[in-house]
Each structure stands twice: as C-alpha cells, then as structure tokens.
Amino acid sequence: MKKLSRISVFGYGAGDAANSMIISTGNMFLLVYYTDVAGIGAAAAGTLLVAARVFNAFTDIAAGRIVDRVHSKRWGKFRPFLMFGFVPLVLSAAVFHVPDVDPSLKLLYAYITYGLVCVAYSMVNVPYGCLVGAMTQDATQRARLGGARTLGGLSVGASLGFFIAPLLGAGQDMQQVFTWLTLSFAVVGSALYFFTGAVCVEQIPGSVPKITLRQSMAALKENSPLVILCTSSVLFVTGTSATGASQFFYLRDVLSRVDLFPVMAAAQVAITLTLAVFISRPVARWGKRAVYCAGGGLGVLGGLLVFMSPADGPLLGLAGLVLGMLGSASVSILTWALIADTVEYGEWKTGVRVQGINYALLAATRKLGMGFGGGVVAFSLALGGYVSGIADQPDSAVLAIRAAAGLLPAALVLAAVGIMYWYRLTDKRHAELVVSLTREPT
C-alpha cells in the first residue's frame, strides 16, 4: 500500500477546517448570538440546540446509509459528497441572520434554518469522516490523518478565538461581525471542501460496492467496540461541548477577563500542534485506548479546577481550561483513528466492510453530545437567572456558569473514561485483524 503523500494529508486537514467553519462557529457563538443578538430566551435557545442535535443524529445515520449505497467508479464512495460542501456553509450564514420579527417567528426561523444546516452538514461530514478508513489501514498513517484533521479544525477555532471573540464585547455591532464572518466562510470553506475531495484518494476498496440495510445491521450487531466507543464519545463530547459553549460566559461573567479569550486560543494552538507531532509516541508505547483514558483524566482535573477557581484568581481557572483543552485534543485525535479500527473489526466479524454507518453512528453520538452540552449551558443560564446585556450577573447565574463550565463536564468525562474499560480492540489486536483480512487465501 502506498504511503500517504503530504498533499493528501494536508488536504484531509483542510476538510476539517471547512467543517469547523460550520461547527466551531456554532459551538462557540450560536448561543451567544441567539440570546444577546437575536433576543431569543436562554431556555428556548437551549431547547432548540438540544432538539436540533437530536435531529442531527438521525440525519447522520441517514447520511451513513446513503453513503454506503453510493459508489462512483471514478471518484469512489466518499469524495463526490465533498463537492457539495458549499450548501451547509451558505445555510450556516442564514442561521446567524435571524430577522427582527415577532418572537415566535424568530424561533420558527431559527428552528428551520438550523435544521437545514443539520441535514446538509451530515451529507458532507459523514463521507468526510469515512475517508480515513478508505485512505489507509496503517495505524501510523491514520494517526497522521487524525492529527491533520485536528489541526485543520484548530486553525479555524483558534482564528475565531483570536480575531472574532474580542470583537463581541460590550458596545460592538455583533450582527455585523457575524454577517461578514459567515459570508467569508461560505466562500473559503467551499474551496477547501473541493480541494479535499480532489486530493484525498481512496485506496481501500469496500468489500461490497453497495451495502444493503440488512448487511449494515448485521455488521453493527457484531461490532461491540463501536458501541462502546460511541457510548464513551457521547458522554465525553457532552462534557467538552459544555465547557466550550460556556467558556465565553466564564471568562466574561465569572473571571471578568474576556480579554483572555485570545490567550486561550493561543494555548489551544500550542497544545494541538504539540499533540499532533508527538502523540504517536505515547500511542506506540501504550496504545490508543490508554492515551484516550489519560487524556480524559486530564479533562476531569481541569473541570474541577474551573469550577473551584475563585473570581480573583483567574490563573487557576485558566489552568483548568488548559488541562481541559489538553484532554479534549488528545481524545479527539484518537477518536478518528479508533473509529477507523472498528471498520476492520466489523469486516473481520461479518465479511462486509461497512464504513458509512460506522462513522455516521460516531458522528451522531458527537452531535448529540454537542447538542446536550450546549443545552446544558443554556438551561443552566436560565435556571441561574442569567440576564443578557448586564455587566454584573447575579450570584446564582455565576454559580450556574461555573457548574456548566467545570463540574458537570468533569463528571461526564469521568464516566466516558470508565466506559472505555470494556473497549477490547487494542492496537495489537487490530494489527492481527488487518493481517488476517489481507492474507491471501490458500
């Protein structure tokens, strides 16, 4: 099998940069936009975020089935879908343009536009994720792709933290900021999706070009590592998404240091760059599962520090956020390699290489986690009596922000790590499966 070229690895990372123009913008700023710009109540916004993500989980599964049924002789199974990446990007721009109408119509508009983004994003993101398993079966090469993906998403997330968050302080025209941001992303992101589809060649053919629903269900039934990974993922992503969605509120309303948002973005860049370069070393020594759990442990410690940090001691809170980033980045890099491993496990068990539905299930659990995480923050704000537009929040709201940013994420990540105890598909076992799958019959 050919070693992946640098351009293909770079191109794969570019695809997640485009993804993040949709997903990171929403995770970081959509709740702030809905409450502070569109004028939608926190509880109503929280319900919307949860409902949309649950819906998005089903659209991911549907997209997985569509991907498993489609095959192009020239382009393969997954690359053709990336050519339509402009659709969710354009719809994402519409999400951040809620018209100034009756509150009930505002909410209806928000539900419709966000729902359309969910459908369009699933049809691009699911095949994008499947590319890892189709480009290579080598563990080291998959780690490279996972690192490239994380760096691609990080480049956008960091840019949002460096350049956009500081523009959202008091007295700023937030609507204008989001208008230029989302329209620019629609143009740049479309080009990045096309580039990914052009350079990321699929080298691993499917055992069956078009997979039936019966074959998909049989493969899923036998794939216990996939079930365990998805269960752990939904808990982990719920926790980390809650921290991400509440980080702006935490820095602004608890620590009174929204100016530190760019510092956190810089820390995320440094952490992810370091992990992308060096994570293969601990993985080679201890295996992906062990490093996954170690990263989760750092996330638990970070969440506790965020919750307990005093308002006049911002460095302790920042240290907690940094530890959370370290745990989140390490687990995210490894998750994409682990899901590719489950494809070979399912093929070994059933004889059918099912990729679309495997990735779709993981993507669905992550979407659920993102929705639950954002919903938790919104509901916490509502229960704590958060009032948009005021400088000094009531003590109950400050406590709610602390809990949403630290305590609850720590508990959820701890549960996610505990579930991985039952994940038995070690790197050694996976290598043995790959050998058995590629061995010529005698």
What's the rounded Cα separation, in Å, for the pair 157 and 7?
Answer: 22
**Mean per-residue pLDDT for 240-269?**
84
Would you say residue 1 lies in a domain?
Answer: no
Q: Structure tokens of 438? A: 């590629």
Predicted pLDDT of residue 440: 47
Would you say residue 125 lies in a domain?
Answer: yes
Confidence of residue 97 (pLDDT cuts 50, 70, 90): very high
Q: What whole-number percentage of the chain has pLDDT above 70?
A: 93
Alpha-carbon distances of 303 from 26, 150, 317, 325, rounded to whole Å: 22, 22, 9, 10
Residue 185: CA count within 13 A, CB half-sphere: 33
Would you say residue 147 lies in a domain?
Answer: yes
**Mean per-residue pLDDT for 46-61?**
85
Which among 9, 298, 266 has a CA at the least distance from the CA of 157? 266
Predicted pLDDT of residue 117: 94
> Helix/strand/coil (H, E, C) string of 38-107?
CCCCHHHHHHHHHHHHHHHHHHHHHHHHHHHHCCECCCECCHHHHCCCHHHHHHHHHHCCCCCCCHHHHH
Between 154 and 115, the higher pLDDT residue: 115
Between 233 and 67, the higher pLDDT residue: 233
Average pLDDT, the chain: 84
Between 280 and 304, the higher pLDDT residue: 304
Q: Structure tokens of 412? A: 């959820």
> Cα-flanking dihedrals φ and ψ of residue 143, to 5°?
-65, -40
**Residue 325 — left, alpha, or beta (φ > 0 → left; ψ -120 to 50 → alpha)?**
alpha
Whether pLDDT at 441 is above 50 = no
Whether pLDDT at 429 is above 50 = yes
User: Which amino acid does the sequence have at 200?
Assistant: C
What's the rounded Cα separation, in Å, for the pair 24 and 328?
Answer: 14
Predicted pLDDT of residue 439: 61
Among positive and negative, which fits the CA dihedral 134, 137, 141, 144? positive
Predicted pLDDT of residue 442: 40
Q: Structure tokens of 289? A: 């599962």
Would you say residue 360 lies in a domain?
Answer: yes
Instruction: Find how far residue 105's CA is from the centre of its chain.
Output: 30
Of 3-12, 157-166, 196-205, 216-225, give the range with the top mean pLDDT: 3-12
**Mean per-residue pLDDT for 55-62?**
85
Between 178 and 215, the higher pLDDT residue: 178
Would you say residue 184 lies in a domain?
Answer: yes
Alpha-carbon distances of 423 from 40, 223, 267, 434, rounded to whole Å: 42, 11, 31, 18
Domain range for 122: 6-438
**Mean per-residue pLDDT for 235-263?**
85
**Mean per-residue pLDDT for 148-153?**
84
Tally of domains in the chain: 1
Lowest mean pLDDT among 157-171, 273-287, 423-437: 157-171
Q: What is the CATH number of the domain that holds 297?
A: 1.20.1250.20
**Mean per-residue pLDDT for 389-396?**
78
Whether pLDDT at 389 is above 70 = no
Which helix (H) or strand (E) element contains residue 337? helix 314-350
Whether pLDDT at 390 is above 80 = no
Would you say residue 136 lies in a domain?
Answer: yes
